[in-house]
Chains A and B, each alone.
Chain A
């Protein structure tokens, strides 16, 4: 049986809310540099798995919201989210049929694109990020991808959303 629209969007919404909370949850000291791009990861999952429900428009809106949350330049995260999700939606079939380790590798590349866009915009705005640790989140995102994938797939099957 197919789930109603309300439950579909509440599951997607809740997962995104969790992503947002994890984005600003305080971590001790240098751990902060390791924080994966939670919102982007959750959005990528839904874009890959449910392209008819979640599209790049939602990714753009979420990016705009992240700009408000971080107080970064207006449109910075919006642009990064938009382009990354666009690339992801183009290769979603390849990602879906790949084994999990290859998926994680592709996710690392996508998050790297996301970070490069942020890096460039920051640089153009006159704040060049000089720390090499800035690039670590793409690695942690890839490492955590199998876990996120498994959790979100479990909730997707549990609530029967397609």
Chain B
């Protein structure tokens, strides 16, 4: 039922998206040549920087693989990635969602993780042939299992809705966590891939009459002004057979 409704409303999303994208295209075509040349130079410089970083990364990845082989643990598999355009439409402001121009015909599936250049954006909650709806990490229904980079401690972030921030659930006041701590996804929960930035701790308030500290996290991904996001097909570690059956039963 919801799927049918979604495909009925799909053309309307493109009706709004096309003229705006076209307008932007015209604007770029008419904008001064000089500005484009400048931008091109900047981008090339940026590209060289990133490639240089990547060289180091490839070396580290190789080393990591070898070390993992020595330890006898599974190598971390590569993930397939596809770029998707964000459709220029807006939902109700109290729903933290975006709509992208890739759907089931591109192999998008329900609960698929979505990232951008800076970190985790959210997960797919609805998909039809040509569009998908992505629930942002700031949505109050969205929870991401994370790890604090500095201490290796595990936690779960919860969205704060329209406020555009995340909070950490069940952090004892005695725990070592402070402003500026980086949080990366831990891959637990089998939904988000391991090792992508989720956010940075913005504020920690410990009140003595409360068992848990209130930790506010600023999401790393540029949730509101993205034009491109990336869909990830993570290769998640396989669950042991018995657990898998159990989780299948639960989902039924």
Give A residues with C-beta under 8 Å from B.
Answer: 20-21, 24-27, 32-33, 35, 64-65, 67-72, 74, 122, 126-127, 129-131, 133-134
Q: How far is the CB of B168 from chain A (nearest CB, A)?
A: 18
> Smallest Cβ distance from A149 to chain B, in angstroms?
24
Task: Determine the chain A residues whose CB is within 8 A of the CB of B5 once the complex forms.
Answer: 64-65, 67-68, 74
Residue B8 lies at the interface, judged by CB distance under 8 Å to chain A: yes
Residues of chain A within 8 A of B95, CB atoms compared: 70-72
Q: Which of the residues B2, B92, B93, B94 comes within 8 Å of A74, measured between beta carbons?
A: B2
Chain B residue with the shortest CB-CB distance to A27: B90
Q: When the two chains form the complex, which single residue of B1, B20, B88, B125 contacts A71, counting CB atoms closer than 8 Å?
A: B125
| Chain B residues close to A by CB (< 8 Å) | 1-2, 5-6, 8-9, 12-13, 15-16, 20, 88-95, 97, 99, 125-126, 133, 140-141, 161-163
- The reply to whether A25 and B92 form a contact with Cβ atoms under 8 Å apart is no
Q: Name the one of B6, B93, B97, B125 contacting A68, with C-beta atoms under 8 angstroms.
A: B6
**In the complex with contacts A20-B12, A69-B9, A26-B88 CB distance below 8 A:** yes
Residues of chain A with a CB closer than 8 A to B15's CB: 21
> Can you pick out 10 interface pairs between chain A and chain B where the beta carbons lie within 8 Å of each other?
A24-B12, A26-B16, A27-B90, A35-B93, A67-B5, A68-B6, A70-B92, A127-B161, A129-B161, A130-B162
Chain B residues whose C-beta falls within 8 Å of the C-beta of A72 in the assembled complex = 92, 95
B99 and chain A: residue at smallest CB distance: A71
CA distance A26 to B93 in the complex (A): 11
From residue B118, how far is it (CB to closest CB) to chain A in Å? Answer: 20
Name B's interface SS.
mixed
Q: In whole angstroms, what is the CA distance A33 to B162 when docked?
A: 11
Question: A24 touching B140 by the CB < 8 A rule?
Answer: no
Cα(A127)–Cα(B6), bound, Å: 21
Closest to A136 in B: B93
Task: Give the distance in Å from the alpha carbon of A74 to the alpha carbon of B126 in the complex.
Answer: 13
Would you call A65 and B89 a contact (CB within 8 A)?
no
18 further A-B contacts with Cβ under 8 Å, apart from A25-B89, A71-B126, are A20-B12, A21-B12, A24-B89, A24-B91, A27-B90, A32-B90, A67-B2, A68-B8, A71-B6, A71-B97, A71-B133, A72-B95, A126-B140, A127-B161, A131-B94, A131-B162, A131-B163, A134-B93
Q: Across the interface, which residues of A come within 8 angstroms of B99, CB to CB? A: 71
Looking at the assembled complex, report how far the CB atom of B66 sits from the nearest CB atom of chain A, in whole angstroms: 46
Docked pose: A64 CA to B126 CA in angstroms:
16
Q: Which chain B positions have C-beta within 8 A of A21?
A: 12, 15-16
Complex Cα spacing A55 to B223, Å: 40
Chain B contacts for A24, CB-based, 8 A: 12-13, 16, 89-91
B161 CB contact (under 8 Å) in A25, A65, A130: A130
How far is A131 from B1 in the complex, measured between Cα atoms in Å?
Answer: 31
Most buried by B among A122, A126, A127: A127
Enumerate chain A residues within 8 angstroms of B92, measured Cβ to Cβ: 70, 72
> How far is it, in angstroms, between the C-alpha of A117 and the C-alpha of B68 when the chains are bound?
56
Q: How far is the CB of A18 from chain B (nearest CB, A)?
A: 11
Q: Which residue in chain B gives the minimum CB-CB distance to A30?
A: B93
